[in-house]
Amino acid sequence: MNWLSQIKPDMGNYIAGFTDGEGSFNVSVKKRIDYRDQWKLTASFNISQKDRVILALIKKEIGCGTLRERKDGVVYYEVTNITSLKERIIPFFKRFGFLSARKKTNFSIFSSIVEKMADGEHLTEEGFQKILELREILNEGKGRKRKYNLSDCVSKEESSETIRKTVSN
């Protein structure tokens, strides 16, 4: 029996509603000199809250992720493992969807990014750039400034080289 079919509809809908208001789908970019292309992409789903009990319940129901506590008492439920995102988080929220248009849009973009990363597309110049382009519109309009954006991670020379490779293939 599939793990997802074992989740009762009232619990699944509760978690989806809670996430609709408090959850976030993100893709972070970190500069890493020890990486081949100097950039590390991390897709993450998280919910932060002061109530550890609710987050522990969500973690148990979904069956993956970690709980971390900040010094100010805020607890994070976070999933960053690509396999867990692809096999647990995405199927869960496809079954128990969101009501808000903004969360539906962000989830759709995030799902596309996770699929590309699971397929290893982020390891190619072209795939990396496509993921960064999708990231630019993920959570758009939230007023948050990103440390690195598309133009920081992909130089114009790389972009034109990607175009040349695409055109010549």
Q: Which of 95, 166, 121 is nearest to 27 (CA)?
A: 121
Q: Would you say residue 1 lies in a domain?
A: no
User: Could you tell me the pTM of the whole model?
Assistant: 0.83
Residue 99 belongs to some domain of the structure: yes
Band of pLDDT at residue 119, cut at 50, 70 and 90: very high
Total structural domains within the chain: 1
Joined together, the tokens standing for residue 29 give: 């970019």
Provide the terminal-to-terminal Cα distance of the chain, rounded to the nearest Å.
45
Domain residues for 150? 6-168
Distance from C-alpha of 150 to C-alpha of 107, rounded to nearest angstrom: 20
Indicate if the pLDDT at residue 8 is higher than 70.
yes
Q: Is residue 80 part of a domain?
A: yes
For 9-30, the pLDDT digits (tens) are 999 999 999 999 999 999 998 8
More confident residue, 36 or 20: 20
133 is a domain residue: yes
* Domain-embedded: residue 102: yes
C-beta contacts of 159-165 below 8 A and 24+ residues apart: 159/129, 161/125, 162/125, 162/126, 162/129, 165/125, 165/126
Q: Is the pLDDT of residue 156 over 80?
A: no
Residue 29 to residue 166: CA distance in whole angstroms = 24
Confidence of residue 140 (pLDDT cuts 50, 70, 90): confident
24: domain CATH number?
3.10.28.10
The percentage of the chain sitting over the pLDDT mark of 90, rounded to a whole number, equals: 66
Task: Please state the rounded mean pLDDT for residues 83-99.
Answer: 97
Position 61, amino acid? E
Domain-embedded: residue 94? yes
Does a structural domain hold residue 89? yes
* pLDDT given for residue 30 in this prediction: 86
DSSP string, 47-87: EEES-HHHHHHHHHHHT--EEEE-TTS-EEEEE--HHHIII
